[in-house]
Each structure stands twice: as C-alpha cells, then as structure tokens.
Structure 1
Amino acid sequence: MAAHHHHDSHGPELAQAAQATLEGAGEQWTAMRASVFDALAQFDKPASAYDIAEAVSKAEGRRVAANSVYRILDLFVGANLARRVESRNAYIANSHPGCLHDCIFLVCDKCGDTTHLDDDKLARAIRGAASETGFTPERPVIEVRGKCAACD
C-alpha cells in the first residue's frame, strides 16, 4: 500500500494549522469559525452539524443555529480543514489541513468509529479509472463500511 505520510496535529497545534490553512486560502479566521473548528476537533467520532451547533452553543452560552454551522463546515471542507463522512452526514477535523489528498474512511457500523486512511496508489487508481471513461474526478469519496477490530 502506498501510504501518504504526514504529521498529524492535535489540540492548539491543530487549530493553528487550520487557521493558517484557511487564511492561506484567502479566508478570515473569525471567532465563530474558530469555535466551530474547536468543537469539531473535540469529537472522537464524526459529528453532525447539529452535534457541533450544540457544543458551540454550550461553550458560547448562546444558541447557535445548525444552518450557520453547515455553512462554516462547507467552507472547512472546501479549504481542507474538515472531511465529510458522506454515509453519516457527519464531519471530522482534518488532522493535517495543509496536506491535500484523497481520503479513505473505514466506518464501523456498530460503534460509529471512523478511521481515516491515506493511500495515494489507490487514489491514483480510482482517479485514473474515472479519467479513462472521460469523467473528470474532483473529490473521490471512499468509505468502507463494516466492523472495527474492537467490535468484531
């Protein structure tokens, strides 16, 4: 397997990397965006916009609408700060926002645990297969559903 190697950031280092990446894309790192990212990064499993809105609401002491969170999450996905787990309609913080690549998610149907893998060889093969049909792949989404080792 041709794995993609990089440094995974956590905690304040991850927030700083996310801020630098977003600002590098020409966007502002507002207090609300920082709050949404911090809440997203706290989850150990993919979180819905409603989960994130609730966490931000508690932290801010005021109600934050899920619609506002969705808009910010869309921005984060576009800027590579977050990844959307399509089958769960949920999001995870990208632990290496400055690194662009296609992701593969292993999603446990029993406990919801989601593992993120990078495999450049597989990603190139999928993009190549799509291109051979005349299709221009922009954002391959690869999810493998099953049971994690803890649930098996």
Structure 2
Amino acid sequence: MGNHNHHHHEHSGASLIDAARDSLVSSGEQWTSMRADIFEELARHERPASAYDIADNLSAKRGKRVAPNSVYRILDLFVANNLALRVESANAFLANSHPGCEHDCIFLVCDECGEATHIDNDEISEKVRGVAKAADFRARRPIIEIRGTCASCS
C-alpha cells in the first residue's frame, strides 16, 4: 500500500477564493458579499483565526460593526461545506487550502506561536474510524489535534 499521505493542489490567494466560491455554489449555497468577505479574511490568516478576530477586522474594513454571531454562522457553514477547518481546542478556524476535499483533520498545533499545520493521513484516519466502529459508533468527522511545539519555536 505504501504511503497514504496526500498532497493536493494547494490553492492560495485568488485561486483559493475562486475554488471556495465554486465549491460553495456547486453545493447549492449562495456566495454573498458577506460570505466572500469572511472567507477572504479567513484566507488572509496564516494561523487559525477566531470569529472575534474576523468580526473585528471586517468591522474596520466595512466601516460598520459585524457581529461575531453572524461570523460564527458563516464559519460553521464553511466548515460544513469543507471550505474551512475548525481547530476545536483553539475555537479558531483555518481556510481549507483544498476546498470541498473531505479528509479527516489532523492538526499539529503549536502552543508557542499558535500555528496549526493540517496534515492528511488516510492510514491514521482509517484506524481511528475502525476504533469508533468497533465501539459501535458511527464517526461523522474525526478531528485529531496534536498539541506541542513547531520546528520554528523548538
């Protein structure tokens, strides 16, 4: 079987925004100006961003207050449609660099700088799903987070 790690075409900048829009529209959702602004703001961040960070930045950009609650709702929609990934332990979000691609999330989260590296490993995913299945549990979307220190901070 060999190596199960995937390397997708990683989108960034305008191509990431286009890929996200196309993916959301093809799933039957609208790409509104607010959704576009929130996705652009999310994609600008190298590290996971909270709904509050995004709301603050958008409020400044739009010149009127954007409520964190409406940002949360849109981020949840993005997560449900695989446009964004949620780092549970940090309650923060990252743009998915391959929108619409469904993989179980494995995050390496640095406790020093907050960087979250997303890796795909089907072998680990299959084992985790197997453990859940053996316990008669249907896993919807396993998320594994490994906290520690990244190479830059070590």
Scaled to the shorter chain, the TM-score interval is over 0.9
- How much has 1:128 moved relative to structure 2? 1.1
Partner residue, 2:42: 40
Q: Specify every segment of 5 or more residues in structure 2 that has no aligned partner in the other structure, as ranges.
A: none
Separation in 1, partners of 2:57, 2:10: 23
Instruction: Output the amino acid matched with 1:129.
Output: V
Map of 1:94 onto structure 2: 96
Following TM superposition, by how much is the alpha carbon of 1:146 offset from its aligned partner in structure 2, in angstroms?
0.4
Report the alpha carbon displacement of residue 5 of structure 1 after superposing the two structures with TM: 2.1
1:29 and 2:28 are equivalent in the alignment: no
Q: Secondary structure at the match of 1:73?
A: helix
SS in 1 for 2:117: strand
TM-superposed CA distance for 1:55, in Å, is 1.3
Equivalents in 2 of 1:19, 1:129: separation in Å? Answer: 35
Q: Distance in 2 between matches of 1:26 and 1:128?
A: 32
Number of aligned pairs? 152
User: What amino acid sits opposite 1:73 in the alignment?
Assistant: L
- Aligned residue for 1:127, secondary structure, equals helix
Q: CA deviation at 1:62?
A: 1.3
Q: Which amino acid aligns with 1:4?
A: H
| Shift, 1:133, TM fit | 1.1
What is the CA–CA distance in structure 1 between the aligned matches of 2:136 and 2:100, rounded to whole Å?
30
Counterpart AA for 1:144: I
- CA positional deviation for 1:102: 0.7
Query: What percent identity do the matched residue pairs reach?
Result: 58
What is the distance in 2 between the residues matched to 1:6 and 1:90?
Answer: 23
Measured in 1, the distance between the counterparts of 2:72 and 2:100 equals 22
- Rounded Cα–Cα distance in structure 1 between residues aligned with 2:85 and 2:108: 13
1:74 partner amino acid:
D
* 1:98 CA displacement: 2.6
Equivalent in the alignment of 2:81: 79
Please say if residues 86 and 94 of structure 2, whose CA atoms lie closer than 8 Å, have aligned partners that are also in contact.
yes
Structure 1 portions without partners, runs of 5+ = none
Give the aligned residue type for 1:32. Answer: M
Structure 2 length-normalised TM? 0.96
2:117 is matched with which residue? Answer: 115
Question: What is the CA RMSD across the aligned residues, in angstroms?
Answer: 0.8
In structure 2, distance between residues paired with 1:21 and 1:6: 16
Amino acid at match of 2:59: S
Query: 2: CA distance between counterparts of 1:15 and 1:112?
Result: 24
1:65 aligns with one of 67, 73, 80:
67
